[in-house]
Amino acid sequence: MRDFPPFRDLRGFLDWCDGTGQLAEIDTPVATTHQMTAVHRQVLEAGGPVLRFTQPVLDGGNCADMPVITNLFGTTARVCAGLGIKEERLSELGEFLAALRAPTPPDGLRDALSRWPMLKAALATRPKVTKSAPSQEVVLEGAEVDLGQIPVQTHWPSDAGPLVTWPVVITRPMDAEPDALNRYNAGVYRAQVLDHSRMIMRWLPHRGGAAHHRSWQQQGEKMPVAIALGCDPSTLLAAALPLPETVSELTFAGALSGTRPRFAKAKTLPLMVPADAEMVIEGWVSPDATAPEGPFGDHTGYYNAAEPFPVMEVTAITHRRDPLYLSTFTGRPPDEPAIIGEVFNKLALPTIRAQIPEVHDLWLPPAACSYRMAVVSINKRYPGQARRVMMALWGMLPQFSYTKMVIVVDEDIDPANWDDIAWALATRMDPSRDVMMLENTPMDYLDFASPQPGLAGKMGIDATNKVGAETTRDWGEVMQTAPEDAAFAADLLSRLMPELNS
């Protein structure tokens, strides 16, 4: 299934990037406050390589002992490589993952044997526990814990302070045993550094980490939390994927990588942690202690307001002997989350089609913060079908509950072409008939345009051709050049004006 060898750790992926000319070292001292983000942003916008800052300058003026890696997923090609496939096979992987989500029983021996790659991927999700973990080569506890020695960036001028932006935050519900990895949740939540041994965990109520925290809160107990930094690409991307709540991101990473993920017992917590990460921060999150998190620049392109979130007391920092610190920034697209979102858009399409079969294509415009707007083309067959698709999409996956506008077009419209969309809106949509408004629906907590935090309206626009009871007028016929005339023109111009084909 994979086009690339398994990348067991971040270093393996960086070696591949280096070997393909996609890694650049910056030996000049660069401040982790503001400067590094400015450099990263310009390289990302140019479609540039992974960056390795060898002399990250901390706020005190000293250089950190560990290099900083940024722009890891700054191109769609590298995101696909992190998933193990070439871009042209992205839809194939999407179909494979859709089948894993809802497998159908095999039809005879031949069909069963043809599904061996799927069986192999399922077996690869079984975790392997090791006693010797690279992520625990150095163990710092008690007075040795100092978050200030990690080159955590302060990204934007009005940010409240250093912000960890690529943490894989690992939690388990209170009723799960420490070795029950299938019950674990791994999410990418931002984490603000408060001081040398405290962090703020920003997880929204609907996220898995917050749900686990509530299970501990209800018993008045603090929750063990591990933050894995610098994980392998499969773990990083699995933690960002919109997986079903019943699927553990940590074990699902094995299906992506084609290898069994390795774990080790945490040093100060009843948790298992990734054995091949660059670094792990261990600690306990209080059931009631909070601190104001933010403001921070966010993916919307604005600063979000400071709000209270749970505090984590760090009990240990473990890392490799020569650790790398993986970082990124979030801001108005383009940024790495938006680029990852482009790939996930294509990856999710087979799953969407499995539940909404009439969907032909789907586009989440990156400029619209990746998921705030969706354009979906359908194979329309009956009146009201566009509205049914809108409502199905809003209720299908958690991230679509935050999509404030859905535009539905016919399958002859390219949903990723703004000119096509504008033409469909101008010629197939009447505002008084084809706009559906909903009130008081779930919305991204960070969307300050919402009338109430976490609660807002939604708009659906039916820009499809109208059929049956949807209209009483004769509907227009789309003009098209006859195929034989188009072929004649192409042949003639290839001889008279060959430069047009260059």
Catalytic residues: 298
Sequential DSSP letters for 330-356: --SSSSHHHHHHHHHHHHHHHHHHHHS
Q: Measured between alpha carbons, how far is 454 from 313 in angstroms, rounded to an integer?
A: 28
Output the six-digit token pair for 297.
């620049």
Q: CA 468, 474, 475: angle at the middle one, nearest 5? A: 80
Please report how the helices 90-101 and 336-355 are oriented relative to each other, as an axis angle in degrees rounded to 10. Answer: 60
Q: Which two tokens stand for residue 426?
A: 């101008």
Q: From start to end of 49-165, where are the E strands? A: 50-53, 56-57, 68-70, 128-129, 138-141, 163-164
Q: Is 73 within 8 Å of 79 (Cβ atoms)?
A: yes
Amino acid at site 57: V
Per the listing, tokens 């993916």 go with: 299
346: tokens are: 């294509």
Q: Report residue 162 as tokens.
A: 């250093």
The DSSP code for 468 is G
Check if the beta carbon of residue 414 is closer than 8 Å to that of residue 447. no
Integer-rounded Cα radius of gyration of the chain: 25
- Chain centre distance of CA 437: 28
DSSP assignment letter at 378: E
Look at strands 68-70 and 325-326 and give their pairing: parallel
Among 60, 71, 58, residue whose Cα is nearest residue 25: 71
User: Is 187 strand, coil or helix?
Assistant: strand
Q: Please return the burial class of 420, using the count of CB atoms within 10 Å of its CB with bins 0-12, 13-18 and 19+.
A: middle
DSSP, collapsed to helix, strand or coil, labels residue 44 as helix
Q: How many CB atoms lie within 10 A of CB 4?
A: 18
**291, 163 contact by CB (below 8 A):** no
Q: The tokens 């290839």 sit on which residue? A: 494
Q: Exposure of 139 by Cβ count < 10 A (0-12 exposed, 13-18 middle, 19+ buried)?
A: middle
Distance CA(436)–CA(2), nearest Å, equals 43
Question: 385-396 and 336-355 helices cross at what angle (nearest 10)?
Answer: 120
Which of 97, 103, 113, 108 is CA-nearest to residue 1? 97
Q: Quick one: three-class SS letters along 360-373?
A: EEEECCHHHCCCCE
